[in-house]
């Protein structure tokens, strides 16, 4: 059995994503890393890992890891595959053995004449209202790992705003956000027609979209101050939910601008 490493106090963010604490010099022992930008260390585990939910211990093979970014703080994001939990002995013993002796089947009774099935009774309105859909749960289940990482990094005051924006984008564009540690931002992939950076101090999301402000003259984006950015992009800040519809229209136009290049 090879060497194993265990990280304590690993908090699961979502399936296959954990957040923990590890000093940068300790994280550096997992290998060389050219990217050393931003506060978060990002470690990718190439093999299935063992996570104990009760003790919050994450155990993995250190020889099968890739250090994607070495951050400046002791905060680390770990990406990997969770090992399936083995079936408990109680559950296994409760299952009947395929070799168990079968009792003879009772004689078949005379089959009664079929009766029409009663029409199903609809659930009362009050009962249906007690079990509303949870849009946050549905969004989390539908998103890719990079999108989940973006949502996990949002401070509480920006959480609902970020979820609302990402839900709109994913309703039309089935891509994935990828963390860019050099600039501490998230890029849309596979085509980078928009990017987003979390600005916790300003309580806003800094967004860039493909195209100059002249390319967006046909777009109605109420409450958004669009400015020229670098390399053929425009930029704006998003801080209110009322701005989300306009931001989504700009992102849709940015996707068209990318296709026209």
Regarding pTM above 0.75, the answer is: no
What DSSP element (H or E) covers 58?
strand 57-60
Q: 86 or 51, which is more confident? A: 51
186 pLDDT above the threshold of 80: yes
Q: From CA 25, how far away is CA 21, in angstroms rounded?
A: 12
| Helix pair angle (156-170, 244-259), 10° resolution | 50
Pairing of strands 41-52, 75-82: parallel
Mean per-residue pLDDT, 5-20? 87
pLDDT value, residue 82: 63
Q: What is the DSSP string of 196-214?
A: EEEETTTTEEEEEEES-GG
- What does the domain layout of the chain look like in residue ranges? 5-82, 137-259
Question: What's the CATH number of domain 137-259, 2.60.40.2380, 3.30.470.20, 3.90.1150.20, 3.20.20.330?
Answer: 3.90.1150.20
Residues 6+ apart with CB under 8 A from 39: 71, 72, 73, 75, 184
Mean per-residue pLDDT, 195-208? 96
Q: Which of 101-110, 203-212, 214-223 has the lowest mean pLDDT?
A: 101-110
Per DSSP, 97 falls in state P
Which band of pLDDT confidence, cut at 50, 70 and 90, is reported for residue 165?
very high
CB-CB neighbours of 36 under 10 Å: 15
The CA-atom distances, in angstroms, between 211 and each of 37, 125, 247 are 27, 49, 14
Which band of pLDDT confidence, cut at 50, 70 and 90, is reported for residue 154?
very high
Which band of pLDDT confidence, cut at 50, 70 and 90, is reported for residue 13?
confident
Which band of pLDDT confidence, cut at 50, 70 and 90, is reported for residue 177?
very high
148: left (phi over 0), alpha (psi -120 to 50) or beta: alpha
| 49-53, 111-115, 152-156, 205-209: which is most confident | 205-209
Question: What strands lie across the sheet with 176-180, from one edge to the other?
Answer: 176-180, 185-189, 194-199, 204-210, 233-238, 227-228
pLDDT value, residue 137: 41
Q: Which of 8-17, 27-36, 103-112, 152-161 has the lowest mean pLDDT?
A: 103-112
pLDDT value, residue 115: 52
Mean pLDDT of the chain: 80
Pairing of strands 194-199, 5-7: unpaired
Cα torsion through 186, 190, 194, 199, rounded to 10: 0
Helix (H, G, I), strand (E, B) or coil at 190: coil
Q: Which of 46-60, 108-122, 168-182 has the lowest mean pLDDT?
A: 108-122
């Amino acid at each position: 059995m090879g060497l194993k490493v265990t990280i304590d106090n690993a908090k699961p963010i979502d399936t296959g994503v954990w957040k923990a604490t590890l000093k940068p010099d300790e994280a550096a022992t997992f290998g060389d890393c050219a990217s050393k930008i931003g506060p978060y260390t990002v470690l990718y585990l190439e093999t299935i890992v063992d996570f104990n939910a009760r003790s919050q211990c994450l155990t993995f093979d250190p020889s099968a890891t890739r250090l994607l970014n070495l951050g400046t703080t002791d905060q680390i994001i770990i990406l990997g595959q969770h090992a399936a939990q083995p079936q408990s002995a109680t559950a296994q013993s409760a299952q009947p053995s395929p070799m168990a002796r079968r009792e003879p089947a009772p004689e078949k009774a005379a089959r009664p004449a079929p009766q029409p099935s009663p029409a199903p009774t609809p659930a009362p309105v009050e009962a249906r209202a007690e079990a509303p859909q949870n849009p946050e749960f549905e969004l989390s289940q539908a998103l890719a790992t990079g999108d989940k990482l973006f949502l996990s990094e949002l401070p509480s005051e920006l959480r609902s705003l970020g979820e609302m924006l990402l839900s709109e984008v994913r309703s039309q564009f089935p891509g994935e956000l990828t963390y860019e540690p050099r600039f501490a931002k998230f890029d849309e992939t596979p085509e980078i027609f928009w990017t987003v950076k979390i600005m916790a101090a300003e309580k806003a999301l800094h967004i860039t979209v493909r195209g100059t402000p002249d390319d967006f003259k046909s777009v109605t984006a109420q409450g958004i101050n669009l400015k020229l950015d670098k390399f053929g992009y425009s930029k704006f800040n998003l801080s209110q939910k009322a701005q989300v519809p306009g931001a989504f229209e700009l992102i849709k136009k940015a996707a068209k601008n990318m296709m026209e290049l």
